[in-house]
Structures are given as C-alpha cells and as structure tokens.
Amino acid sequence: MMIRTIPVTPFDGQKPGTSGLRKKTRVFMQPHYLECFVQAIFASIGGVAGKTLVIGGDGRFYNDRAVQIILAMAAGQGAARAIVGQGGLLSTPAASHLIRLNKTDGGIILSASHNPGGEDEDFGIKFNMSNGGPAPESVTEAMYAATRSLSEYTLFEAPDLDLGRISTVTLGDMQVDIVDPVADYADLMETLFDFPAIRARFAAGFTMRFDAMCAITGPYAVEVLENRLGAAKGTVTHATPLPDFGGMHPDPNPTWAHELMAEMMGKDGPDFGAASDGDGDRNMVLGRGAYVSPSDSLAVLAANAHLAPGYAGGIAGIARSMPTSGAADRVAEAMGLPCFETPTGWKFFGNLLDAGRVTLCGEESFGTGSDHVREKDGLWAVLLWLNILAVRGQSVAEILAEHWARFGRNYYSRHDFEAIEADKADAMIAALRARLSGLAGQKVQGMTIRTADDFAYTDPVDGSVSKQQGIRILFEDGSRVVYRLSGTGTEGATLRVYLDRYTPGTGDLQLDPQVALAPLIKAAHGLAGIAEYTGRSSPDVIT
Ligand code: VG1
Ligand code: CO
C-alpha cells in the first residue's frame, strides 16, 4: 500500500454541462478518464487535504468502481474523512443533506440522473459545495480549465474497501464512514411533514403507487412510505436499484413512466401516484385520472406549503427556471411573495436559498425542492403533496381544479427533439438568434410578438452573469415560446421547445394542453424553421 502519482495527458471534452459531466459509461471506463476529472474537481476547490467529502451515487453501472477510485484519490491527497453511503449508494438529495448535516467541505455524486444506465448507456459525476448544492458556474469553469492542463494525479494504492457494511474504517490516513444512505434523510422528512396525518390517511384506506423505476429512490420510498407512514406493502414498485435500472429509462414523465401512467389513468387506479428518476431528485405526481404538470405542481405546492409543519410559518419566496411556466408567478403575486426567474439547472437556485430569499424552487423538468437541501428532491415533493392531500381531504383533481379557478391556468408543454445532428441544431439556434431583434411586432398564427430575446441572468446575490440561457419569444397575449439546447445529453443535440399560454380562471380550464397550445406550437415550428433545419416535424417526447 503506497501513494502513487500517475502521469497523464488531458482528455478533450471534459466540460461539465447543466448538471456535471455526463458521457457514455464506456467513455468513463477508459483508463484515467474518471481520475482526470476527479483530479480537476480537487484542483477547482484548492485540493482536498484535511477536508471531509460525502461520496455516493445512484447505483448505476460503474458506480461501485468510481466510488473506489474517488476514495483512493482522496486518501492519496490527504483528505481527512469521507462519508460514503453503504454500497456506494446515495440519492442526490440525500447526498446534499449529508453534506449539510455533517458540515462537510462538499461531496461527489455519481449519476447521469434520468439518463438510462448500463455499460452501453450513460454515466456522470458532479461536485456539490459545502452548502450541499451543485457547484456554481465559476467552479465548473475552473474544473474544465483544470481538465485541460493537468499532467498527473495521485492516489493511495490499496485493495478495494468493503462498502457493504455500515462501519468506520481507514484508507491510509483517511477515515471512511460507511453510513446508512436512507436513515438521516428519512429523519429529515419527519421534521418537515405531518407524518401522523399522512399515516392516518393511509390507515383510512388511501391508496398510492410509487414507481422507483429500478433506481435509487426504491429504498428511500420503502422506508418512508411503507415503513414509517404505513402505506401498504407493495406501494413502491421497481423498488430495488439495479445497475442498468432493469432496462427502464428512469425519467419520471408520461412517456417513460408509462406503466404508472396507465395505472393512474384507469378508473380503478390508486388515489395518488408518483415516480422518481435515476438519482432521486425528480418527481412526477398523479391523481386518479389526473396528471400534474411539473410547473403546476410547483404552483400548487407554493400555494399550500403552509399546511406542512416545516413551512407553517409561510415561505420567503419562490424561484423557477426561466422555461418553467408562469403558474408559480401567479401564486407569488397573489400571496405577495418575491418570485425569481433563473436559468435552467439547480445550481442557479443555491444563492437565493442560501440568502433566505426563497423557500421553494422548481423546474418544468419534474424538479421541485426547498431550502431543506440544495438539490431538487423527488420524494420530498411527493411527501408535501401527501401532506396537502391529507390536510385538505380532497383528490388531486379537485385540488388542481380549485387552483386553476383561483389563479388561472398556464397551459404548458415541452416538446423535445432528440439526437439531432449537433451542427444542424446549432445552425438553427444561430439563425434564430440573428433574427431576434427584428421579431417584435410581427404577427404569427394570429398572435403579435411583443419582444424576443436571449435570456441572460444576473444573480441577485453575487452579481454573476450567465448569458445565452435560452431564446424567448414573448407574445402580446402573454403566451411564450422558449428554445434551448439540452446540456445533459450524451448523443448529438436535443432541442427543447417550451410552450406556455395563460388562461384566466374564468376561461376554459379543462382543455387538453396540446389542443390549447396548438397555435403556439405552429408558431414555434414556423419561427425557428425546425423542420427545415433539423428534418424533424414532430417531437420525440412531449411532457
Ligand atoms: C435537464 C433539465 C433541467 C435539469 C437538468 C438536470 O437539463 O431540463 O431542468 O436541471 O436536466 O436534472 P437540460 O440541459 O438537458 O435541459 V437531473 O434530474 O438530470 O440532474
Ligand atoms: Co435527476
């Protein structure tokens, strides 16, 4: 056993995207590839000597190897302590919590989130800061710079640690605490929600289905829903995390969680349904016959959060990512709360949460969360919904209908065009960008364009500026189209088109969103020339 320094040549393209570095698993499995990125992470935080890190991942293929490599590198570079989930497992929100609970210097999370897992699928890695949140752009840029200049990495060479047993061991001079991945997180949930009220509701016959999609939330959902809240055994399906997610695509949306969707849309479905993604930070919630769009979910949660003990004193404010619908803004306005619009990606919420300016945050991509951690949190959102349902004693459909009648409804949809050739997607965006200044006043599909811009964000806390965060076309009637290219994919480019149209509470509130949005969809295709540039006339995934 010894400390070894290994010379390397830098790899191209180790540039973190919306949420860390994501590549095909086999790319990560190349000799020294993961090591080089980990070395760059260490460099971007001024080294790990004397520091404590949380380490864990969603259990996908290569998670186990990656954890051993990171431990060896941390030990070889003088880290004082590592806190690792048993088996190398931690959901993203649980990792965020452990970083905060133990006042550590940060953590490394292994996941490609909602992307499929397996030797031929996707893998990913990201660093979270001591506040528990994803590294901000300044740090990810430092990481990328380091990946291009490094010439060696150092590790402590030793046999693999046995991570299967909850225990404290040492690796060289580093202490390694192998902890229960679920317990602290489940305890945190008990402090936020009215567990007795939810338990009483389950005892009275309330039924639920939670589809963990063979990913990391299985053990968390079983412990919280079945063991602590008394939901029937079997409430959680696909509950065992598997390295390839059992072949499932753990993206909790109507397309990929179709099994749950079918059950919930049936007449005899459970009262409440939910699904989570690979690393446990996303959620989809459903009632019997009722789909809750993520943007609406944020708005409903914000309007009702005070019903849960953890938010009984009210919330400080709401933040949503720019492409997320304006539904939460209506709630903020009615409740006299500040509302912030940030670029896509949870890292942009961190400063607002740390400064106490917002309590709830959300993204249209099935992400909702609060100041309890610094990540979005799938199971947390499900529990807040359960708490609200238990207190209000209504169905999901009734709560949605009342919400829309009070605040109006933002008809909303996202259309994704996947695996487009990158240069075609870039050309389309570039052409659109070049035409932006001339669009105001033009009429499309009977609607007049009020303004068009390329979203830029100035962080109100530290003043940092992020440019080119999505192209927005805003119409005079309040409707909106947003175009963005995904920053989490591993193959070609994915074009996301976000569509939002407001109808007041006195209007028609029960339309199919695709019908309500039809003119806007046509306008979106025409304005950007989607078919001309990409050859695609219809999206691959609609949410
Ligand atoms: C997507 C979502 C974004 C989310 C990000 C990470 O990014 O749109 O809202 O924050 O994934 O979520 P992009 O760049 O592909 O649009 V997760 O659950 O993948 O960590
Ligand atoms: Co995720």
Q: What is the pLDDT along the chain (543 residues), one digit of tens a residue?
A: 799 999 999 999 999 998 899 999 999 999 999 999 999 999 999 999 999 999 999 999 999 999 999 999 999 999 999 999 999 999 999 999 999 999 999 999 999 999 999 999 999 999 999 999 999 999 999 999 999 999 999 999 999 999 999 999 999 999 999 999 999 999 999 999 999 999 999 999 999 999 999 999 999 999 999 999 999 999 999 999 999 999 989 999 999 999 999 999 998 999 999 999 999 999 999 999 999 999 999 999 999 999 999 999 999 999 999 999 999 999 999 999 999 999 999 999 999 999 999 999 999 999 999 999 999 999 999 999 999 999 999 999 999 999 999 999 999 999 999 999 999 999 999 999 999 999 999 999 999 999 999 999 999 999 999 999 999 999 998 899 999 999 887 888 999 999 999 998 888 899 999 999 999 999 999 999 999 999 999 999 999
Helix orientation angle between 195-203 and 378-392, rounded to the nearest 10 degrees: 70
Point out which residues pair with 273 in neighbouring strands: 209, 286
pLDDT of the residue at 18: 85
- The pTM is what? 0.94
Sign of the torsion formed by the C-alpha atoms of 519, 523, 529 and 534: negative
Judged by its nearest atom, the ligand closest to the C-alpha of residue 216 is 2
CA of 498 from ligand 1 middle (Å) equals 14
Pick the atom of ligand 1 nearest to 282's CA.
18
In angstroms, rounded to a whole number, what is the distance separating the alpha carbons of residues 375 and 369? Answer: 7
Domains of the chain, start order: 2-180 (3.40.120.10), 185-407 (3.40.120.10), 409-542 (3.30.310.50)
Catalytic residue from among 19, 91, 113, 370: 113
Half-sphere exposure of 181 (CA within 13 A, CB side): 30
Pick the atom of ligand 1 nearest to 376's CA.
18
Residues lining ligand 1, CB < 6 A?
18-19, 113-114, 277, 281-282, 321, 344-346, 363, 365, 367, 486-488, 496
- DSSP states of 470-516: -EEEEETTS-EEEEEE-SS-SSSEEEEEEEEEEE-TTS---S-HHHH
CA of 488 from ligand 1 middle (Å) equals 6
Length of the chain: 543
Pick the atom of ligand 1 nearest to 321's CA.
9
pLDDT of the residue at 325: 97
In angstroms, rounded to a whole number, what is the distance separating the alpha carbons of residues 456 and 436? Answer: 14
In angstroms, rounded to a whole number, what is the distance separating the alpha carbons of residues 403 and 413? Answer: 18
pLDDT of the residue at 144: 97
Query: Which tokens sit at 164?
Result: 């299967």
Q: Whose CA is nearest to atom 8 of ligand 1?
A: 365
- Helix/strand/coil for 331: helix
Strands 208-211 and 272-276: parallel
pLDDT of the residue at 267: 86
Pick the atom of ligand 1 nearest to 363's CA.
9
Contact by Cβ (8 Å): 291, 254: yes
In angstroms, rounded to a whole number, what is the distance separating the alpha carbons of residues 223 and 33? Answer: 36
CA of 429 from ligand 2 middle (Å) equals 26
CA of 50 from ligand 2 middle (Å) equals 30
Q: Which residues, 6 or more positions from 95, have their beta carbon under 8 angstroms from its beta carbon?
A: 54, 56, 85, 107, 109, 128, 132, 375
Query: Which tokens sit at 122?
Result: 């996707």
Judged by its nearest atom, the ligand closest to the C-alpha of residue 18 is 1
Q: Whose CA is nearest to atom 11 of ligand 1?
A: 488
Pick the atom of ligand 1 nearest to 113's CA.
19
H-only helix segments in 305-421: 327-335, 350-354, 378-392, 396-407
CA of 419 from ligand 1 middle (Å) equals 16
pLDDT of the residue at 488: 82
In angstroms, rounded to a whole number, what is the distance separating the alpha carbons of residues 4 and 271? Answer: 57
Q: Which residues, 6 or more positions from 398, have their beta carbon under 8 angstroms from its beta carbon?
A: none
Q: Whose CA is nearest to atom 17 of ligand 1?
A: 113
In angstroms, rounded to a whole number, what is the distance separating the alpha carbons of residues 466 and 454? Answer: 11
In angstroms, rounded to a whole number, what is the distance separating the alpha carbons of residues 535 and 64? Answer: 41
pLDDT of the residue at 48: 98
pLDDT of the residue at 527: 94
Q: Whose CA is nearest to atom 5 of ligand 1?
A: 345
In angstroms, rounded to a whole number, what is the distance separating the alpha carbons of residues 82 and 378? Answer: 25
Place of tokens 């055994």: 233
Chain center to CA of 340: 18
* Edge-to-edge strand list for the sheet holding 21-24: 21-24, 122-128, 107-110, 52-57, 81-89, 174-179, 167-171
CA of 200 from ligand 2 middle (Å) equals 31
Q: Which of 128, 279, 344, 374 to mutate to test the pocket of ligand 1 (most atoms within 8 A of CB)?
A: 344
Judged by its nearest atom, the ligand closest to the C-alpha of residue 58 is 2
Phi-psi region of 360 (alpha: psi -120 to 50; beta: other; left: phi over 0): beta
In angstroms, rounded to a whole number, what is the distance separating the alpha carbons of residues 492 and 507? Answer: 41
In angstroms, rounded to a whole number, what is the distance separating the alpha carbons of residues 348 and 457? Answer: 9
Half-sphere exposure of 364 (CA within 13 A, CB side): 26
pLDDT of the residue at 21: 97
In angstroms, rounded to a whole number, what is the distance separating the alpha carbons of residues 130 and 438? Answer: 45
Contact by Cβ (8 Å): 499, 414: yes
What interface predicted TM-score (ipTM) does this complex get?
A: 0.97
CA distance to 50, 124, 226, 454, 518, per residue, from 521 (Å): 54, 33, 42, 19, 5
Catalytic residue list contains 113: yes
In angstroms, rounded to a whole number, what is the distance separating the alpha carbons of residues 400 and 300? Answer: 8
Which candidate, 308, 328, 304, places its Cα nearest to that of 318?
328
